[in-house]
Amino acid sequence: MNLIKDFISLFYPRLCYICENSLFKNEVVVCTRCALHLPETNFHLDEDNPVSRVFWGRVEIERATALYYYKKGGSVQTLIHQLKYHGHKEIGIYLGQLYGAQLMEVEDYKTMDMIIPIPLHKKKLKQRGFNQAETFARGLAGTMEKELVTDNVYRAIATSTQTKKGRYKRWENVSDIFRVREPENLANKHILLVDDVITTGATMEACLQTLKKINGTKLSVASIAFASH
Ligand SMILES: [Zn+2]
C-alpha cells in the first residue's frame, strides 16, 4: 500500500500551502520549514492577552485566544485564503488538531464542555459550500474530545458586522444577528466559540451576547488568527 502511495506521490506530490514545495511523507498541510516560521501567539498561556482585551467592557468571557498573528501578505493570510476561498478544508482541520493539543495543556480549556463555530448565514453557506470556522472547530473538537455543536446556533441576519459601512459603524442591537434553536441544551455549559480570524471582534461579540442570555453559560473564544488593527 505504501509503495502505491509513494508511486502516486511521484506524480501528484502534495504541496506545502505556503511555499508550494513538495511535502515529505510525515508532513501535513505545511512543510516543516514553513511551520517553524508561523507566528504563534501563545495567547492561551496568558489570561490577559490582546484577544481577551478586544472584549473588555463589551461582554464577559472566561478565556480568549488565537493560534497565530495575522499580517497582510503573511503566510497565515495565505493559509486562511487557501482554506476559505479554495475550499482546502484540511487546513482548518489540521490547525484545529494542532491547537487543540496545545489548549489541552491549559486547565480552563481542558475543562470546557463544547465547541461551537460561528455560523454563516445560510445564503453564504450555500455560496461557499462550507463554514471555514467549522473546519477549525472540528479539528479542535476531535483532539480535545469535546462535543462539536453546529446546528443549534444560527445566523439570522446576513450582513457582515465587519464590512458594514456608513451610518451604522456597529449594530445597535447586535443580539439580533444570531439566534439559538434549543437554548436548554447550552444552559450551564462552558462553550468555546470559534472563528477563523478575529479583527474587531464585532461578529464574535454579537454571538457571545446571544449565548450570554442563556442561563449559566460560560463563554470562551478561539480563532485561527488575530489581526490587530
Ligand atoms: Zn513550506
Report pLDDT for 221: 98
Taking the centre of ligand 1 as the mean of its atom positions, its distance from the CA of residue 90, in whole angstroms, is 16
The separation between CA 56 and the C-alpha centre of its own chain, rounded to angstroms, equals: 20
Q: List CB-based neighbours of ion ligand 1 within 5 Å.
A: 16, 18-19, 31, 34
Taking the centre of ligand 1 as the mean of its atom positions, its distance from the CA of residue 41, in whole angstroms, is 20
Judge if 110 and 140 occupy the same domain. Answer: yes
Judge if 186 and 121 occupy the same domain. Answer: yes
Judge if 30 and 47 occupy the same domain. Answer: no
- Contact (Cβ atoms closer than 8 angstroms) between residue 51 and residue 66: yes
Judge if 177 and 101 occupy the same domain. Answer: yes
Beta-bridged to residue 179, according to DSSP, are 154
Taking the centre of ligand 1 as the mean of its atom positions, its distance from the CA of residue 81, in whole angstroms, is 15
Report pLDDT for 1: 56
CATH number of the domain residue 192 falls in: 3.40.50.2020
Phi, psi of 148 (to 5 degrees): -100, 120
Mean pLDDT across 25-36: 94
Judge if 95 and 178 occupy the same domain. Answer: yes
Taking the centre of ligand 1 as the mean of its atom positions, its distance from the CA of residue 50, in whole angstroms, is 28
Give the count of domains, the chain.
Answer: 2
Strands 153-155 and 190-198: unpaired
Taking the centre of ligand 1 as the mean of its atom positions, its distance from the CA of residue 124, in whole angstroms, is 31
pTM to 2 decimal places: 0.90
43-63 confidence digits (pLDDT tens) = 999 999 999 999 999 999 999
185-219 confidence digits (pLDDT tens) = 999 999 999 999 999 999 999 999 999 999 999 99
State how far the Cα of 76 lies from the Cα of 73, in Å rounded to an integer: 8
Taking the centre of ligand 1 as the mean of its atom positions, its distance from the CA of residue 114, in whole angstroms, is 33
Name the more confident of 218 and 170.
218
58-107 confidence digits (pLDDT tens) = 999 999 999 999 999 999 999 999 999 999 999 999 999 999 999 999 99
Taking the centre of ligand 1 as the mean of its atom positions, its distance from the CA of residue 34, in whole angstroms, is 4
Judge if 66 and 175 occupy the same domain. Answer: yes
> What is the helix (H) or strand (E) element at residue 185, kind and residue range?
none
Name the more confident of 3 and 114.
114
Judge if 26 and 44 occupy the same domain. Answer: no
Judge if 181 and 75 occupy the same domain. Answer: yes
Structural domain boundaries, residue 150? 39-226
Residue with cell 444552559: 187
Judge if 18 and 49 occupy the same domain. Answer: no
Mean pLDDT across 180-187: 98
136-157 confidence digits (pLDDT tens) = 999 999 999 999 999 999 999 8
Judge if 62 and 152 occupy the same domain. Answer: yes
The separation between CA 48 and the C-alpha centre of its own chain, rounded to angstroms, equals: 19
Q: Which of 7, 6, 75 is nearest to 37 (CA)?
A: 75
- Contact (Cβ atoms closer than 8 angstroms) between residue 206 and residue 161: yes
Task: Pick left, alpha or beta for residue 171 (phi over 0 → left; psi -120 to 50 → alpha; otherwise beta).
Answer: beta
